[in-house]
Amino acid sequence: MGARFLLMAGIAMAAVQAFGAVYYVATDGSDNNAGTKAKPFASLNKANTVVHAGDTVWIRGGIYDLRDTVFFARYKMTAAILLTASGESDDNRIHYLAYPGERPIFDGANLPVAAGGEHSDGTPEGAMYTSPIVISAKYLHLKGFEVRNTPMKHNSNSGVFLYASKHIFLEQIDSHHNAGPGFFANDGAPDGGGHIFLNCDAHDNYDPLGWQGDGENADGFGAHYQKPGEGDTTKFIGCRAWWNSDDGFDFINQEFPVVLENCYAMGNGYSDYGLGNPKNGNGHGIKMGESTLGGGRHTIKFCAAWKNKATGFYANYTGVGSKWLNNTSYMNKDREFAMASTLFDSEGNRIAEVAPLTGDNAHVLKNNIAFPNKNSQVGECWEYIPSQNIDRYVECPAGENNTWNLKLDLTEDDFESLDDPSMTVTGKDLSTIAGILGPRNADGSIPNVGFLKLKKGSRAIDKGEDLGFPFVGEAPDLGAFEYGLSSSSVVGSSSSAESAASIAMPRKGYLPGLHATRGAALVFDLQGRLLGNLQFEQINGSDGALAGMLRAKFRTPGTYIIRYGSEIRKVQVSP
């Protein structure tokens, strides 16, 4: 299913429709400057004071040593960068973008952290939390940088913290080595959520000093506190989480649906590149729930989880079922799928310690691979209801067309490869090693490796149920990766293109005219404005010939950026 993922990444790459003002931030800038390319600002805080909907802030490469904070009174926390200026809609955002070819790094190693505690006294000195980047805004697009080394004293501190925000688009952000979650979306306000996390990474996050325990809160990604019926669905697409001391993805207390697609979780519950084993880290790969009010009906599809300390896919005693479709769970320490659930009344009060979900409220499990078939609360469930003194095993839903239903005990011979650095290497930074968790491609897609993919003749091929996703052969395959589904077959499918657009473009008009130019190269200026397109055949010539075409078509000298798929070409057009 990586091809569908590539298409969505390609869509997002064309998303910079910046028709407003343009500003620059650089490590050698000054907040007394005008914010031009020649005289850039020094901080995003300064940029936040001048930007409006449609504006773009280009962030030059280098290490931004974060040493100062501002007080965010609304949440009683401090932040090195506080973004509060908002865009107006999905097609009129404010953009904070890494300058092309450069990598900004926001480093919190020297960040002054508030004393913290279980409660705040409402002052900057008594703030509970500190984060390098805090977002409390609407319709922003952030792309292409790192956040790292957030410290802590008493409370776990997130690398990127979203509070009461709406429709924040985070793309190719790498949040790592923080003393708390890599990303934390707190949508406990009306009309929040609707975020997109596209091709983001959260890894090596560990909170050893937290008052709740060693490693207890450093998840990779979290979305929490959205209330039933309020806001929009948050989506995680192509994201990876590994070596986080708690869980890879965690959505406890989230009462509004979350979608995960093509996401990956490995080695969560451990620390120090897999060498440490924090005693309070949970160690689930993808943990959905706990929903107490019935709103957390999540969808998890085409995801993979392996080598996590606990389970690969975990329902976390939720009170409402989620959809688990075409996922692959491999060699997790405890269970592959654990659908532990319980019952709550309409006010969120627990009325059972553990009980299976049935009927329309049951979990939906289809086309999944468990290797080995070691699951819990699937098919046979333990039930305990204290008020009735019930303690027994009962039959419960087992799903359809999964390896355990089909009695498929897969082996190494069913896969192209089960060999990857993430399976064998500890003590080293996996983000620098070629493999499924290694450096991303320029368009944000993950490396094209054979790990966990089915090979020709696999017994998991054509064993699935048609769920409306593209497939090759007589029926869909089991697991996260459809054998033989090429990039061209996905792009050529109108249904898959529309599906991708609905995920990456939650509002009509977000990327005007994209489908009309799908077979062409897109042409931008250096401010990210989409100028038009050229046919693919026109971009194969020399730079001189291409410059002539650009001059004839756009009639303006300068530098043009041409994008076709993951290829980027810069052409100078002289007067």
- 508 inside domain: no
Q: Considering only 106-115, 138-147, 310-319, 535-544, which range has the smallest mean pLDDT?
A: 535-544
Last-in-domain residue among 371, 392, 413: 413
Instruction: Report which of residues 338 and 347 the model is more confident about.
Output: 338
Is residue 82 pLDDT above 70, yes or no? yes
Is residue 252 pLDDT above 90, yes or no? yes
Q: What is the DSSP letter of 99?
A: P
3-state secondary structure of 344: strand
Question: Does residue 185 sit in the same domain as residue 326?
Answer: yes
- Give the CA dihedral 421, 425, 428, 430, nearest 10 degrees: 20
Question: Does residue 523 sit in the same domain as residue 409?
Answer: no
Is residue 492 pLDDT above 60, yes or no? no
Is residue 543 pLDDT above 80, yes or no? no
Is residue 251 pLDDT above 80, yes or no? yes
Residue 2 is inside which H or E element, if any? Answer: helix 2-13
Last-in-domain residue among 378, 413, 448: 413
3-state secondary structure of 363: coil
Is residue 366 pLDDT above 70, yes or no? yes
Q: Identify the pLDDT of residue 212.
A: 85
- What's the total number of domains in the chain? 2
Percent of the chain with pLDDT over 70: 87
- 171 inside domain: yes
Q: Identify the pLDDT of residue 222.
A: 97
In terms of residue numbers, what domain contains 550?
A: 519-573
How would you label 248-262 residue by residue, b for 16+ Cβ within 10 Å and e otherwise?
bbbbbbbbbbbbbbb
Work out the mean pLDDT of the chain and round it to a whole number.
87
Instruction: Tell me the average pLDDT across 218-242.
Output: 93
481, 4 Cβ separation under 8 angstroms:
no
Q: What is the pLDDT of residues 420-436, one digit of tens each?
A: 999 999 999 999 999 99
Question: Does residue 375 sit in the same domain as residue 236?
Answer: yes
Burial of residue 230 (CB within 10 Å: 0-12, 13-18, 19+) is middle
- 421 inside domain: no
Q: Kindly report the CATH number assigned to the domain that includes residue 272.
A: 2.160.20.10
- 123 inside domain: yes
Is residue 350 pLDDT above 60, yes or no? yes
Under the phi-then-psi rule, with left for phi > 0, alpha for psi from -120 to 50, and beta for the rest, what region is 111? beta
Is residue 333 pLDDT above 90, yes or no? yes
Q: Identify the pLDDT of residue 491.
A: 22
Q: Identify the pLDDT of residue 498.
A: 25
pTM of the predicted model, to two decimals?
A: 0.84
Is residue 124 pLDDT above 90, yes or no? no
Residue 50 is inside which H or E element, if any? Answer: helix 44-50
Q: What is the pLDDT of residues 196-216, one digit of tens each?
A: 999 999 999 999 988 889 999
Question: Does residue 409 sit in the same domain as residue 523?
Answer: no
Q: How confident is the model at residue 568 (pLDDT cuts 50, 70, 90)?
A: low
- 530 inside domain: yes
Q: What is the pLDDT of residues 148-195, one digit of tens each?
A: 999 999 899 999 999 999 999 999 999 999 999 999 999 877 668 999
- 502 inside domain: no
199, 444 Cβ separation under 8 angstroms:
yes
- 436 inside domain: no
Out of 133-147, 477-491, 492-506, 516-530, the most confident range is: 133-147
Preceding peptide of 290 cis, ω within 30°: yes
Contacts of 109 (CB under 8 A, 6+ apart): 65, 148, 149, 151
> How many whole angstroms separate alpha carbon 96 and alpha carbon 140?
8
Last-in-domain residue among 395, 413, 431: 413
Question: Does residue 396 sit in the same domain as residue 523?
Answer: no
- Owner of token pair 């209330």: 227
Is residue 33 pLDDT above 90, yes or no? yes
Q: What is the DSSP letter of 387?
A: G
Sign (positive/negative) of CA torsion 360, 313, 437, 172?
positive
> How many whole angstroms separate alpha carbon 425 and alpha carbon 270?
13
Q: Identify the pLDDT of residue 540.
A: 63
Instruction: Report which of residues 438 and 14 the model is more confident about.
Output: 438
Instruction: Tell me the average pLDDT across 283-301.
Output: 93
Q: Considering only 3-12, 35-44, 61-70, 166-175, which range has the smallest mean pLDDT?
A: 3-12
Q: Identify the pLDDT of residue 511.
A: 26
Q: How confident is the model at residue 387 (pLDDT cuts 50, 70, 90)?
A: confident
- 487 inside domain: no
Is residue 490 pLDDT above 50, yes or no? no
Preceding peptide of 257 cis, ω within 30°: no
Q: Considering only 98-102, 436-440, 460-464, 568-572, which range has the smallest mean pLDDT?
A: 568-572
Q: Identify the pLDDT of residue 536.
A: 56
Q: Considering only 53-57, 150-154, 345-349, 395-399, which range has the smallest mean pLDDT?
A: 345-349
Instruction: Tell me the average pLDDT across 135-145.
Output: 96
> How many whole angstroms separate alpha carbon 414 and alpha carbon 478?
11
Q: How confident is the model at residue 126 (pLDDT cuts 50, 70, 90)?
A: confident
